Amino acid sequence: MAPIKACIFDLDGVIVNTSNYHYLAWKRLTNELGFDITEADNEQLRGVSRMECLRIILSIGGVSVSADQLYDLAEKKNNWYLEYVQKMDEHEILPGAAEFIQAARESGLKVAIASASKNAGIILRRVKLDTVYDALVDGNTVNRSKPNPDIFLRSARELNVDPENCIVFEDAISGIQAAHNAGMRSIGIGSDIMLKNAHMVVPSLGVMSLEDLYSLENFA
């Protein structure tokens, strides 16, 4: 039984719902390229880095482009995505997320945000959550995407907490796997069918209590 000393939160899908903005921006790009993606396709993109998303999307459309074009397309999508992000405010924080993070900190736990997004800092500022964490590790700091554990191991190092004392909150299957690869326990945010490998699954942080969190101390 390892005591819980830190919470590591994914951002997109756990604290804010930016998934739809990613979807709209990718859809705009694919439409320009002459094909379309569905919401089901978008599910595959959760937790996946920008360039990897682009590769997945181009393979859905059966489109191949040069390496230079790849970067231009990614930049184009990102500029559209940022148009949506610039309009975000604290009303877009998912129910209960800010309150849960605050309660965790008040109970003495350290808090990190670990996101594959290179825009994590901008989003946290937009929703006024840029002072609620002890460490931010994002797509600018870590290259290898989840399920690689780098992002969570780096978060633990920055918090000065051992991996076995960290709990990860994730909405992506690859994120749950990354947490386990890092030797951490996990809480899935979303569907318990999809996130069945997590140690616990809740539909949102709004229904999560500190008692629920500490009940995970019994999982080694």
Binding residues: 10-12, 26, 45-50, 77, 115-119, 146, 170-171
In the complex, least distance from residue 191 CB atom to Mg ion, rounded to whole angstroms: 13
CA–CA distance, 150 with 165 (Å, rounded to integer): 16
Long-range contacts of 73-78 (CB under 8 A, 24+ apart): 73/29, 73/33, 74/50, 76/29, 77/25, 77/26, 77/28, 77/29, 77/50, 78/25, 78/50, 78/119
Q: How many residues of this chain interact with ligand BG6, rule: CB under 6 A?
A: 17
Among 6, 13, 110, 177, binds Mg ion (CB under 5 A): 13
190 binds ligand BG6 (CB under 6 A): no
Among 48, 124, 179, 202, binds ligand BG6 (CB under 6 A): 48
In the complex, least distance from residue 5 CB atom to ligand BG6, rounded to whole angstroms: 24
Q: Are 117 and 139 in contact (CB under 8 A)?
A: yes
Residue nearest to Mg ion (CB): 13
Our CB check for ligand BG6 shows the closer of 2 and 15 to be 15
Residues 6+ apart with CB under 8 A from 210: 103, 104, 107
Q: Are 217 and 1 in contact (CB under 8 A)?
A: yes
Stretch that binds ligand BG6, among 42-50, 128-136, 156-164, 210-218 (CB under 6 A): 42-50
10 binds Mg ion (CB under 5 A): yes
> Closest by alpha carbon to 179, among 217, 143, 151, 212?
151
Among 105, 118, 154, 157, binds ligand BG6 (CB under 6 A): 118
Residues 6+ apart with CB under 8 A from 3: 165, 217
Q: Which residues are catalytic?
A: 10, 12
Site for Mg ion in 40-59 (CB under 5 A): 47
12 binds Mg ion (CB under 5 A): yes
Stretch that binds ligand BG6, among 45-53, 86-94, 105-113, 158-166 (CB under 6 A): 45-53
In the complex, least distance from residue 45 CB atom to ligand BG6, rounded to whole angstroms: 4
190 binds Mg ion (CB under 5 A): no
Footprint on this chain of ligand BG6 (rule: CB under 6 A): 11-12, 22, 45-50, 53, 78, 115-119, 139
